[in-house]
Structure 1
Amino acid sequence: MIELVACDMAGTTIDEHADVYRALADSVMETGVQVSPENLQLWMGAEKREAITNLIQLGGGVAEEKLVDTTFDRFRQLLLSYYEANPPVALPGVVEAFEKLKKQGIKIALTTGFSRDVASVLLEELGWKTGEGELLDAVVTADEVAAGRPAPYMIHRVMELTGVRDVTWVIAAGDTVNDLQAATNAGVKAVGVLTGKLGREDLERFDHDVILDGVHQLPEYISHLAVKA
Structure 2
Amino acid sequence: MSSFAGSQIPQLSIRNDHVTEPLRVRAIMLDWAGTTVDHGSVAPVAALQTLFAQHGISLSIEDARRDMGLLKRDHIRAILGLPGVRAKWAAETGREPIEADVQSLFEEFGPLQMEIIAQHSTLIPGVVETVKEWQSRGWRIGSSTGYTRSMLEPVQAQAALEGYRPDASVCPDEVGAGRPAPWMLMKNAQLLGVYPPSTCVKIGDTVIDVVEGKNAGMWTIGLTKTGNLVGVNQKQWEQLPEASKKERLKDAESALIKAGADYVAEDLASCNEALAEIEERLNHK
State yes or no: 1:158 paired with 2:188: yes
Determine the structure 1 residue equivalent to 2:197.
167
**Matching residue within 11, 17, 33 for 2:34:** 11
| Residue 43 (structure 1) aligns with | 67
Residues 1:23 and 2:47 are matched in the alignment: yes
Tell me how large the CA RMSD over aligned residues is: 2.1
Match of 2:179 in 1: 149
Question: Is the contact made by 1:33 and 1:56 (CA closer than 8 Å) also made in structure 2?
Answer: no
Mean Cα displacement is larger for which, 206-215 or 73-82? 73-82
| Corresponding letter in the other structure for 1:125 | Q
What count of residue pairs does the alignment treat as equivalent?
Answer: 224
Query: By how many angstroms is 1:168 displaced?
Result: 0.5
**Equivalent residue number for residue 212 of structure 1:** 265
Helix, strand or coil: the match of 1:202?
helix
Q: Does 2:234 match 1:203?
A: no
Using the TM superposition, name which of 140-149 and 68-77 deviates more. 68-77
1:39-188 maps to which residues of 2 (within 5 A)? Answer: 39-58=63-82, 59-60=85-86, 61=89, 62-84=96-118, 86-127=119-160, 135-188=165-218
Name the amino acid aligned to 2:69. G
Structure with the larger RCO, 1 or 2 (CA within 8 Å, 6+ apart): 2
One-letter amino acid of the structure 1 residue matched with residue 37 of structure 2: I
Query: Counterpart of 1:150 in 2: which secondary structure?
Result: coil
Using the TM superposition, name which of 4-13 and 214-223 deviates more. 214-223
Identify unmatched segments of 5+ residues in structure 1.
none
**Which sections of structure 2, spanning at least 5 residues, go unmatched?**
1-23, 90-95, 230-251
More strand by share: 1
Q: Distance in 2 between matches of 1:227 and 1:57?
A: 43
Q: Distance in 1 between matches of 2:103 and 2:278?
A: 44
Whether contact under 8 Å (2:30, 2:36) holds in the other structure is: yes
Secondary structure of residue in 1 paired with 2:272: helix
Distance 2:61 2:117 in 1: 22
Question: Is the 1:53–1:63 Cα contact (8 Å) retained in structure 2?
Answer: no
Equivalent pairs: percent with the same residue?
A: 28
Larger radius of gyration: 2
Distance 1:43 1:157 in 2: 23
Q: Is the 8 A contact 2:68 2:228 kept in 1?
A: no
